[in-house]
Chain A
Amino acid sequence: MKILVPIKRVIDANVRVHVKSDGSGVETANIKMAMNPFCEIAVEEAIRIKEAGHASEIIVITIGTSQCQDILRSGLAMGADRAILIETEAELQPLAIAKLLKAIVERQSPQLVILGKQAIDDDNNQTGQMLSALLGWAQGTFASKVVFNDGNVEVTREIDGGLETVSLQLPAIVTTDLRLNEPRYIKLPNIMKAKKKPLDILCPDDLGIDVNSRLKVLSIEQPAKRAAGIKLADVQELMDKLKNEAKVI
């Protein structure tokens, strides 16, 4: 059985993000980039499933510029078997990504697609769900535990009220939450081996998918700085401010 793991290249979680002065986006020039942390958890889970004998091959895939090869090599160094890059300079929305992934799923026929629940740059939390709908596959989102049995997969989901366990028939989509696992460190011998693992490069046209965006970003700005607190004389004044200034009651 194959597992497909879509991953995303984002600004490194430790870097302080700056909005571009013209408000068109965030500064990425010369900024350290890395694999999205939720995606690392997805790669790790796929490797554990394979190590447990439930899978025979892991394919990591990403969509973006040629620089994105670095996170694919990281995925290969962690333990994936081969990689695919769909190379494009276009600004991509989750729907276009889900469509591209659907086309890849149809070509590669994985039984399981496991991906991060969201990326830490846009925090969309949409791609897995959209892919599930497009494919008509079962989905288990926000997974904190995945128990794999032949034929189905039990996913424990983190939901508002606590934990929910669902049993999915394969093929299925799983999106990962933070508590699912702790990704392994990449080892030097595996970084060297990863250089020799296959990495195929496609473009959206090869797959016949229109990646034009349906959404337009108007502007991006830094969240307003939190103002300093003030001392109020009594409850009366508080009620007054809540009603008339904050207008919350």
Chain B
Amino acid sequence: MSQTINRRDLDFLIYEMLAVDELCEREYFSEHGRDVFEPLLDTAEDIALDHFLACAEAGDKHMAEVVDGKVKMIPEAKIALDNMFEAGFVAASLDNEYGGLQLPVTVANACMSIFQSANIGLCGLPLLTIGVANLINTYGNNEQKALYIPSLLSGNFYGTMCLSEPHAGSSLTDIRTKAELEEDGTYRITGNKMWITGGEHELSENIIHLVMAKIPGGPPGVKGISLFIVPRYQVNADGSVGEHNDVSLAGLNHKMGQRITPNCVLNFGDNNKCIGYLVGEPHCGLEYMFLMMNEARIAIGLSAVSAGYAGYLYSLDYARERTQGRLPDNKNPSNKMTPIIQHADVKRMLLAQKSYVEGGLALCLFASSLLDEEKTHPDESARLEARLLLDVLIPVVKAWPSEWCLEANKHAIQILGGYGYTQDYPVERLYRDNRLNMIHEGTNGIHGIDLLGRKVVMKNGAGFELFMGEIQKSIDAAAKHAALSEFVTSLQQAKQTVIDTTKVLTTAAAKGDVTVFLANSSIYLDMFSHLVLAWIWLKQAIAVQVGLPDAHDQDKHFYTGKMQACQYYFRWELPKIEAQAKLLSSLDTTCLDMPEQAFAG
């Protein structure tokens, strides 16, 4: 049994569903190919098993803490991360100009999912570092790129994103951190930041914070937010580390899960000596951050998938070994007890998990492939289309796995019964680790508003239409395979349901009823996501039909499993959207109308 993401599944997605090896015909990826991907995925598995999985339990039991003013983590964490940086997994997908290796993001993320399934908490630090390097690479000036990126990719520096403040989490418009221009062109930063993963630690010689702050006199609200590079220690022109930059640790948050990694409250400029360096133009900070958010949100989706996947694998193995009871047609107590995997209800919970985690993984790698298309497709209109489609899908990529792969973790615990509820087995930890993903990188509620209020209606609905067109293409491709006819019919109907429901909602919005339009956007997000996932399962089923005629025995089992999980998704999950569509189309105001005082509590 696999202990990290199943390799056959990854190979299926990379080569059979997404044909990533064909990307390597493009100049940008010309140094890559299957002969690089395979040993790289092998290395990811080796390091993940030897170092990430090996310290997952210890990291949970010994939460990061402050000792003598310094953040202390278990020592195995640094060894694991050093191995990951040294092997090139952090530098993998960046441009080679500053030390990157130009690997397709799809493959880099497939590797990351292996690490995440072994230890999702520990992966937050390298993922943030990749995000910071990407952002500086896109919006920083040449001097900033040369000074910070090579050190970020090598692991000498780690990175953080400092957006939230104690009083302003989802509400970025209300942040108060201040950046005042100095005569030398730098800025003096003062303020407090909250929820900073990796805000302080001793894993690297420096930490590069990307801080959102307001320059006094700028426009109000989010239009007045600028973005600054604020190092923990000043960086000298030769890249060496200089004086402390007046960024101090105010405390750690004591978390439910992902406890191996410190999550910090930071104070900037307590002694008025904290210097920041503007990225790009003033007042464009939020725009820069959001342009980079797609990658970060795929990472969150993948993190949720990976924790769900790890629980699925563990509970599957347990169900094969654990014997309990007898089957309904054979209740004779003198017969041996049966492995619980043979009980119908256990199979249900396993198949539900499989359909969620494998569907989620396919979704996240498909989204990653859109980043590769956006960057390297030779045709400009195709690049723009990839971007537009990703913009529409990103709320789904972030929110759906965080809801439904958490549901998978719930099933994994259930399969282990009482044992699953104890700390002697990893499934309760996986649940706690995964619970964060509904919250950070925009709560799922925010993503519901983003999808319905922004993505569906943007550019006169162009993104929405593009997405529906892509579904139609898959339906047309699937129609060539007789084995897929049931799915073709169901998806066609589900697509129409979502189109009709969206029309009712946008018509209400056009009449000016914005509050009612957005009131049930979480439900809209779930309905829309179920359509997306059914489409992703159909894409997998098409790849199965292509591979099946030449399949070996082992592969036949694999393909049968895919088809059965696809059928589960279409028969058990997809029909849920009809009830949601009915509720949404009625413009129901039950929640909206509830008087605050009536909550009586």
Contacts and interface: CB of A to CB of B under 8 A. Distances in A.
Contacts of B43: 185-188
Q: What interface size band does chain B fall in?
A: 20 to 34
Contacts of A77: 39
Contacts of A34: 42
Contact of B101 (A29, A73, A189, A195): A189
B493 to A, nearest CB: 38
A77 B552 CA distance: 31
Interface in A165-211: 185-189, 191-192, 195
Contacts of B380: none
Contact of B35 (A30, A32, A73): A73
Given A186-B39, A186-B43, A191-B40, A30 B555 contact: yes
A39 to B, nearest CB: 15
Interface string B547-565: 0000010110000000000
A174 to B, nearest CB: 25
A195 B42 CA distance: 17
A85 to B, nearest CB: 14
Contacts of B554: 30-31
B35 A189 contact: no
A192 B88 CA distance: 11
Contacts of A185: 43, 46-47, 83, 86-87
B35 A187 contact: no
B39 A191 contact: yes
B34 to A, nearest CB: 10
Range, interface on chain A: 10 to 19
Contact of B103 (A29, A70, A188): A188
Contacts of A187: 43, 86-88
A74 to B, nearest CB: 6
A77 B39 CA distance: 9
Contacts, number: 51
Interface of B is mostly: helix
Contact of A188 (B7, B35, B101, B555): B101
Contact of B31 (A31, A32, A73, A192): A192
B92 interface: yes
Given A185-B87, A187-B87, A188-B92, A70 B35 contact: yes
Contacts of B7: 32
Nearest to A188: B88
Contacts of B89: 188
Contacts of B31: 192, 195
B203 to A, nearest CB: 19
Given A29-B552, A30-B554, A30-B555, A195 B36 contact: yes
Shortest 10 CB-CB distances between A and B: which pairs? Answer: A188-B88, A30-B552, A187-B87, A186-B43, A187-B88, A191-B39, A191-B36, A185-B87, A185-B43, A192-B31
Interface of B: 7, 31-32, 35-36, 38-40, 42-43, 46-47, 83, 86-89, 91-92, 101, 103, 552, 554-555
Given A185-B46, A186-B39, 6 more contacts: A29-B552, A30-B554, A74-B39, A185-B83, A186-B87, A189-B101
11 contacts: A73-B39, A74-B39, A185-B87, A186-B39, A186-B87, A187-B43, A187-B86, A188-B89, A191-B36, A192-B31, A195-B31
Interface of A: 29-32, 34, 70, 73-74, 77, 185-189, 191-192, 195
